Amino acid sequence: MKICIIGASGGIGRELAGILAADHEVVPVFRSRLDRDGTVRKVGAGFDDDAALGAAIAGADVTIHAALDTKAKGKDFIPANAALTDRVLSKLDPATCKLFVYFSSQVVYSAIDATRHPAYAESDDIVVETRIDAYTRLKIDEEKRVRAACDARGIPWLIVRPSVVTGPGMNWSTGMVDAMRKIPVGLGGRTINLIHVTDLSLHLKSLIEQGISGEVFNLADKDVKSSDFFAAAAQAAGRKALILPGAITATAGRLMPSTMWFFAHDIEMRSDKLKGVSQHKASRALAAHFIALRADRMGAKIEDILDNARAGRRYQATGHGYSQWFQDAPASDTLSLARYEGIVRHEGQSVTVLAGTRLSALISFLDQQGLALATLPEFVGVSAGACFFTEVHGSSSTHATLYDLVETIRYVDESGEEHESRRDVALWDRLRQRADGITLTEITFRCVPQHYLANVIQWRDETELDAIIAGGYAENAATTLHWFPGHKTFLIYNINPVERPTPDDQAPFLPMRGLPYSLQRLVLKLRMPRGRRVVGKSHEVLGTWRSVPARPLVGAILKRMRPRFRNMELCIPIAMAPAFIARLREEMARGAIAFPKEQGIGIRFSTHAASARTFMWVETSSADEAQLHALADLARSVCGDAFRLHKGKYVPRGIGPEQLFIPRAG
């Protein structure tokens, strides 16, 4: 069937259009052909354009009128909406129109004196016995006009009276949850009939497909106590509702417009007629009428963490939230462990910290004990807990990532139980694949004696790059590159152990690998005028970057930037690294992948000595997602599924959890 929906951008119209389109041709008619942001819709007519409205209705077997002109206010409201309905009716062609569906509302029943007649069925006579508002008046009048006009012209009609419509974006769902977040107060002692917009659409589809006409249907589904309704909305907002007693509801209800007369009286909306005819069977729990708001909580004490897990809501634990600089915020609640920090204990070469402890605090503590972590990321502002779930890494010839230093963890599962687990590769691989529901609370790292490292920083010609990727990286304890393809050169950090610093050595400083080429050259020239090697304690050389200056500001800018600035890091098995770099060169040469001339690509090498596996990490940034997607596609075409992506950076859609960590088991 060809079905014209007038009011296709409203909450009901949109859902209806989607559901009908599965089996029918839908012709949408919007209020205006302009979207809210002013862009022109590609399809559909505007109902303010009379000719387009006529054309849309003329070709349709079924016309559904679900539009309401809410822009017309006060005394204009009824005339404006009546005029629209008249225009629609005048354009129906009895020769082609097999059905006209008019969206009325349950509010027509508010005209009947509820003290005398509190249960409403479609057979009731709608006699105005009470004070009614303009919306109620409009719907009562329109029902009569639609029936009269259609009957006079031999056009089959169907009138539907939805009860309280819930679902995404609807006032009684999304709006109510939002209101409950601000003021969690609800009205008790009444009954509300709910229908979810999806069920409503499926019921109407069934009525249309059965060719039912000349009937009125309450599109009603579930009678619920008003106290349960408000409690469920508040729960979705993460609040507990204060429910006012029925006596207060009655008083408040009498002050409300007739549209909400069901707060003034305890009424019943009959739905047996619909349920007897419709092929759709709705079975939706009350909670499913609401979409829970995301809540961001802070887990500063173990009690907070346990309570959060036991609340039974889906959530994702986070550390310091740096990954959200590059990714969209999680859809579920979050529990930040940023303030769950501190050293728990230190025994021999093992140190246990709370999960939110920054690596910077941990390495300072270890230094006082004459200890160090064997590998570090360049940025040590990240949390210890993140090192379990993301492959936090630097360059290293012994450890793939910091995860390899983890001996024991404590974690809280979704039932609120806290567990301790010594390294168990199979279990840990499974835990790491989980996106939510697990909170790591404590983590124990194996340490090494503190030692000195020297970093010899050099500029090299691009022609030497292949030899380093083909195995030259292994000549150092840690090799890091920053490749500037636009300048046919790269920077190399050759990092190796030394006994101690000599007077000729340069103390560690922030070389800020990752700067644009010219600035990078300048910084290194100024900081290392005589090209001396940089020598310092291991953490000073490896984890040079302790914090981000003006972090809240930088974070806010990065998160809000449109288009969003993304940093992405690929992990390529070393055997495939030469082929990947060769293909990347080809793609850059033909312009399929293009970065600004001044921009560099970070390359690090890390080896999991226990399994003799080496990985090349390729890191780059762009505000153009397409460039990063092209890089990920390139990795897939060279490596199949063997490549990985850094979970703490930008992860394109469609990448599964198994692609975000390096399995240690098997």
Ligand X SMILES: Cc1cc2nc3c(=O)[nH]c(=O)nc-3n(C[C@H](O)[C@H](O)[C@H](O)COP(=O)(O)OP(=O)(O)OC[C@H]3O[C@@H](n4cnc5c(N)ncnc54)[C@H](O)[C@@H]3O)c2cc1C
Which residues make up the interface to ligand X (CB under 6 A)?
316-323, 325, 337, 355, 377-379, 382-383, 385-386, 389-390, 392-394, 438-440, 548, 647-649
> SS3 for 238?
coil
Nearer to ligand X, 8 or 386 (CB): 386
CB of 443 to ligand X, least distance (A): 8
As beta bridge partners, residue 45 has 29
- Residues ≥6 apart with Cβ < 8 Å to 605: 395, 397, 473, 474, 478, 479, 480, 574, 614, 615, 616, 617
Angle, alpha carbons 597-603-609 (nearest 5°): 175
Contact present, 221 and 282 (Cβ < 8 Å): yes
HSE-CB at 239 with a 13 A cutoff on CA atoms is 19
Look up residue 236 and give its amino acid: A
Nearer to ligand X, 238 or 381 (CB): 381
CB of 426 to ligand X, least distance (A): 19
CB of 615 to ligand X, least distance (A): 12
CB of 318 to ligand X, least distance (A): 4
CB of 639 to ligand X, least distance (A): 19
Contact present, 305 and 411 (Cβ < 8 Å): no
To the nearest 10°, the Cα dihedral for 192, 197, 202, 206?
60
- Residues ≥6 apart with Cβ < 8 Å to 401: 375, 387, 391, 392, 393, 606, 662
Nearer to ligand X, 63 or 334 (CB): 334
CB of 362 to ligand X, least distance (A): 12
> SS3 for 212?
coil
CB of 548 to ligand X, least distance (A): 5
Q: 3-state SS of 615-637?
A: EEEEEEEECCHHHHHHHHHHHHH
Q: Helix H segments across 162-301?
A: 176-182, 197-209, 226-236, 246-255, 272-277
CA distance 662 to 659: 8
Report which of 451, 481, 470, 483 is spatially closest to residue 375, judged by C-alpha positions.
Answer: 451
Nearer to ligand X, 235 or 606 (CB): 606
Nearer to ligand X, 257 or 514 (CB): 514
CB of 332 to ligand X, least distance (A): 10
Q: What are the contacts of 21-30 at 24+ separation with CB within 8 A?
A: 23/205, 23/209, 25/1, 27/2, 27/3, 27/56, 27/59, 27/60, 28/4, 29/4, 29/5, 29/53, 29/56, 29/57, 29/67
Look up residue 394 and give its amino acid: G
Nearer to ligand X, 149 or 631 (CB): 631
Nearer to ligand X, 355 or 634 (CB): 355
Angle between helices 77-91 and 134-153 (to 10 degrees): 20
Nearer to ligand X, 65 or 646 (CB): 646
> SS3 for 269?
strand
CB of 188 to ligand X, least distance (A): 39
CB of 440 to ligand X, least distance (A): 4
Nearer to ligand X, 482 or 649 (CB): 649
User: Locate tokens 């090799």: which residue?
Assistant: 479
As beta bridge partners, residue 328 has none
> SS3 for 652?
coil
CB of 653 to ligand X, least distance (A): 16
Nearer to ligand X, 322 or 484 (CB): 322
Nearer to ligand X, 188 or 381 (CB): 381
Tokens of 136: 């109620």
- Residues ≥6 apart with Cβ < 8 Å to 534: 454, 455, 456, 457, 505, 506, 507, 508, 509, 511, 528, 541
Nearer to ligand X, 191 or 659 (CB): 659
321: left (phi over 0), alpha (psi -120 to 50) or beta: left
Q: Helix H segments across 503-550?
A: 517-527, 538-542
The pairing of beta strand 25-30 with beta strand 2-6? parallel
CB of 495 to ligand X, least distance (A): 14
Number of C-beta neighbours around residue 338 at 10 A: 18
CB of 565 to ligand X, least distance (A): 11
CB of 602 to ligand X, least distance (A): 9
Nearer to ligand X, 29 or 651 (CB): 651
Nearer to ligand X, 386 or 581 (CB): 386
